[in-house]
Chain A
Amino acid sequence: MLTFLVRRVAAGLVLLYVLATTAFAMMSLTGTDAARNIAGTMATPEQITAKRHELGLDRPWISQYGQWLAHAVRGDFGTSWFGGDSVSESLVLKAPVSLSIVVSGLLLATVLSAVLGVAAAVRRGWVDRVVQATAIVGYAVPSFLMALMLSATFAVQLGWLPATGYVPLASSPSGWLRSITLPAVSLAIGAIAATAQQVRGSVIDVLRQDFVRTLRSRGLSERRVLFRHVLRNAAPPALTVLSLQFISLVGGAVVIEKVFGLPGVGSAAVTATVNGDTPLVMGVVVYLVLIVVAVNLLVDLAYGWLNPKVRVR
């Protein structure tokens, strides 16, 4: 198990390295002229050259990259070319905002899709049709459109929840919950649609297995058969979908943050993208890849827990 984990972590680091390098190459080789953007439209050619020199943009690509890498491995991602503040510090400040809505959205999606998926698989009939219809809605309504509609209804018209802004958990738990409810729900709906479908499918598959009939023949209660045995065996494929959903929620959060005016990594990423702010973009790249690697690692661990065949090997 340990060697397995070490291998997975190593694979994650390789992925991080390859993607960061590719991103850096794209930014440096074709990037918009950041020096010109920073210096402003009124700047003289000399001022731009000076700015370019100051940022190290006049040096060869490989040297810029080497410098970035040398600092990055020590956790130093430089300073933003535009705000001038430390990239790592601002990401550490902003990550909790983004993760709050993504993780709550995912939890919501997990619980609801499990309930809906199992209900659809066991009861069929109208529950099943509702779940099927939700899947189409979840596919066809982009999460940010859902966010706009929820915001227009529950924040603007009804005034039940705040339309914008973020309250840190530490300063007011209830305020935090209110500030992330609409964003998390908007994110969750799409994920519920996809995951409930998967849960439904795998529960139906497991219910057809021989061992389920044998468990029933032993007189175990239906609830125990369903929630202990069937769910446990149906979980791995659902988990895969859930992990993919998590990653797409991180992407969806970028747009959701804008709708709800949340100061998260996504908003920073959009600004950095528009400006061509390489250090900040690279910081966001590392943050995103780390999330992907971490999620995949967690999923691997969960697989091991759920499926003894994986664990023993």
Chain B
Amino acid sequence: MTHSATRDTPGTPDSAPGTTRRRGHPLGRLLRHPMAVVCLVLLALIVAASVCAPLLTSAGPTRATLADAFAPPGGGHPLGADSVGRDVLARLLYGGRVSLLGGFIAVAVALLIGVPTGLLAGYYRGRSDAVISWLASLVMAAPAIMVLLVSIAAIGPDTNATMAVLGIILAPGVFRLVRASVTSVREELYVDAARVSGLGDTRIVRRHILPVVQAPTIVQSAQMFGVAVVIQAGIEFLGLGSAGQASWGAMLNDAFANLYTKPSLLVAPGLAIVITVAALGLLANALRDALLETGAPAARRPGRPGAARPSALPAGGDDSLLAVENLRVTYPARDGERTVVDGVSLTVRRGEVVGLVGESGSGKGQTAFAILGLLPPEGRSEADRLSFDGRDLRGLGRKERNALRGCRVAYVPQEPMSNLDPAFRIGTQLIDPMRRHLKVTAREAREKALGLLERVGIAEPERVYHAYPHQISGGMAQRVLIAGAVSCDPDLLIADEPTTALDVTVQADVLDLLREFQQERRMGLILVTHNFGVVADICDRVVVMRTGQVVETAPAGRLFAEPRHEYTRMLLDSTLEDAPPRAPLRQAPATGTSLQEKV
């Protein structure tokens, strides 16, 4: 759409697009969720048992028969009797009515207040939004227990009134959620279009806004219902509920009073509360999955980066600094596995600059990360050979790998601003690896860091040293990252699109800097890029990649003079100044996997 630079998405490969879309009616989706069905059935049973209480037991919930005190289960009392001989089953069933009614009142009040105000504030914004938001934050700041106690002191012990007050306490949460949903839809183009086409506000709200608000509000209602049941039980346990009615909280109170003589009285009301609330909570989770489709990634077992098939091939044996043979990188996908790097081989000699070129999604970034052992946990890599300076990198333990990384093999990332830890000063981030690898004192490391900052062309090293990442520019941040990468004199530097995120004016400087370091220290350099201009500038040899495979490897001069592979020719053509930049690529015959959507 826009002509922003094409970039690899480093780290996690693009998640499979277009696979999690709405499937069928929301209710249907909910019913396919086994947990949701279990919860709904449980809740339906609880509701039915409470409503049908008179049919299920002939005992009255408050009728005390002192002779039956602490009666064991069985006979006239299926679940036994409490300390004054009231039937536990009857109290449980009738208590359910109190809990459910209380929860219903609290949720209804919260929705009645929260939804209209949220719609109002989110849709019209302006002053009404400011006033309501302020009120909401005020109510949220008041400790709930304080509001409840004061209202009980003021109104008297009335469970339903207290639950209505709880609804007021919960209302700001609903308000915020609705307001946030409305605000986000309001920004959408189709709402503007609806307005332009002359739809009235009421219809816009009903047709376009309410459907969006619905799902999160339902999820929240289930959660609030659970909270209300818990708080109500607490209020009744304290003896602050309506007098003379059976409730789960009051049953717990009775059990508490007889904790020494009959602790088993805890079981019935305790289970009732826990089952009801757990069902509501799990239902809320299931509703969220079914209605909101957050598509939370399933927890995957972490793969072992760099782990590979043992191989009979000896490590090393020639003068290459880095040797990669038949590297494969795969990610778990819905249908088995997705291969993002497929049989890549390359070598880098000491003092050589190798360009790793390809479009977004060609696997060049993933190749770089696999060499560094920095694939995300779900990524897996294997190779017939992966050796650095004669050492096999495949079987290395974490410790050995860390001893090598940063010290002998270093990395310059693509996006400078997101690659510095925002919470630490730049100086600290430069010093840490030096102290670890070079075993220098803090003072020496500091001297060296300041020297490096000056060397990479930062005008005020002292200031930048003490600055936080957000206080410096992108160009400076990239210089800092280069300084960090070369701080321990590595033999191999892997730079992943080091100039892509920078201004054109800074790009050349940063390339020059890399080139200078590379020549000065005779480093091997892998330059991952999609830019043939960069390749022409500094690369000795070029590896061209496409959809995870190497299509051509050649010395830079020859590649430009006589590209052998058709794809290389197309890439080269597309970078010619007067050619239409992307058009030829689209017509490329698709062999194997199709190119990923780019730009």
- What residue of chain A has the Cβ atom nearest to residue B281's Cβ? A139
Interface residues of B, dominant DSSP: helix
Query: How many Å from the CB of A147 to the closest CB on chain B?
Result: 9
Q: Are B226 and A220 touching (Cβ within 8 A)? A: no
Q: Are B154 and A312 touching (Cβ within 8 A)? A: no
Bound together, the chains give a CA A224 to CA B437 distance in angstroms of 14
Which residues of A from 261 to 278 have beta carbons under 8 Å from B? 269-270, 272-274, 276, 278
Q: Are A214 and B419 touching (Cβ within 8 A)? A: yes
Q: Are A145 and B238 touching (Cβ within 8 A)? A: no
Mask: chain B, 460-475; 1 = CB below 8 Å from A; 0 = not: 0000000010110000
Which residues of B from 439 to 488 have beta carbons under 8 Å from A? 468, 470-471, 481, 484-485, 488
Which of chain A's residues have a CB closer than 8 A to the CB of B402?
216, 219-222
| Segment of B100-108, B299-307, B511-519 in the binding face | B299-307
Which residues of B from 385 to 419 have beta carbons under 8 Å from A? 398-399, 402-407, 410-411, 413, 415, 418-419
Q: Are B471 and A306 touching (Cβ within 8 A)? A: no
Range of interface residues on A (Cβ < 8 Å): 35 or more
Range of interface residues on B (Cβ < 8 Å): 35 or more
Q: Is A40 an interface residue (CB 8 A)?
A: no
Q: Is A18 an interface residue (CB 8 A)?
A: yes
Mask: chain B, 106-148; 1 = CB below 8 Å from A; 0 = not: 0000000000000000000000000000000010011111100
Bound together, the chains give a CA A35 to CA B462 distance in angstroms of 72
Q: Are B149 and A289 touching (Cβ within 8 A)? A: no
- What residue of chain B has the Cβ atom nearest to residue A247's Cβ? B143
Q: Are B421 and A218 touching (Cβ within 8 A)? A: no
- What residue of chain A has the Cβ atom nearest to residue B411's Cβ? A217
Q: Are A255 and B281 touching (Cβ within 8 A)? A: no
Which of chain B's residues have a CB closer than 8 A to the CB of A273?
149-150, 152-153, 240
Which of chain B's residues have a CB closer than 8 A to the CB of A247?
143
Q: Are A292 and B419 touching (Cβ within 8 A)? A: no
| Segment of A1-9, A89-97, A148-156, A173-181 in the binding face | A148-156
Q: Are A23 and B255 touching (Cβ within 8 A)? A: no
Q: Are B146 and A213 touching (Cβ within 8 A)? A: no
Select B153's contact among A125, A224, A248, A276, beta carbons within 8 Å: A276
Select B278's contact among A32, A140, A149, A296, beta carbons within 8 Å: A140
| Segment of A62-70, A103-111, A280-288 in the binding face | A280-288
Q: Is A15 an interface residue (CB 8 A)?
A: yes
Which of chain B's residues have a CB closer than 8 A to the CB of A142?
230, 233-234, 273, 277
Q: Are B481 and A219 touching (Cβ within 8 A)? A: no
Q: Is B178 an interface residue (CB 8 A)?
A: no
Query: How many Å from the CB of B201 to the closest CB on chain A?
Result: 33
Q: Knowing A124-B302, A141-B274, A148-B259 touch, does A308 contact B152 (C-beta < 8 A)?
A: no
Q: Are B143 and A289 touching (Cβ within 8 A)? A: yes
Which of chain B's residues have a CB closer than 8 A to the CB of A254?
145, 149, 238
Q: Is A250 an interface residue (CB 8 A)?
A: yes
Can you report 28 residue pairs joining A to B where beta carbons are below 8 Å apart? Answer: A23-B150, A27-B154, A32-B156, A124-B300, A136-B282, A137-B278, A140-B275, A144-B252, A148-B266, A149-B270, A156-B260, A163-B259, A208-B376, A210-B415, A214-B420, A219-B403, A219-B407, A219-B436, A222-B398, A224-B432, A229-B424, A248-B144, A270-B149, A273-B149, A273-B240, A292-B142, A308-B470, A312-B471
Using CB atoms and an 8 Å cutoff, list the residues of chain A in contact with chain B: 15, 18-19, 23, 26-27, 29-32, 123-125, 128, 136-137, 139-142, 144-145, 148-149, 151-152, 156-157, 163, 208-211, 213-222, 224, 229, 232-233, 247-248, 250-251, 254-255, 258-259, 269-270, 272-274, 276, 278, 281, 284-285, 288-289, 291-292, 296, 306-309, 312
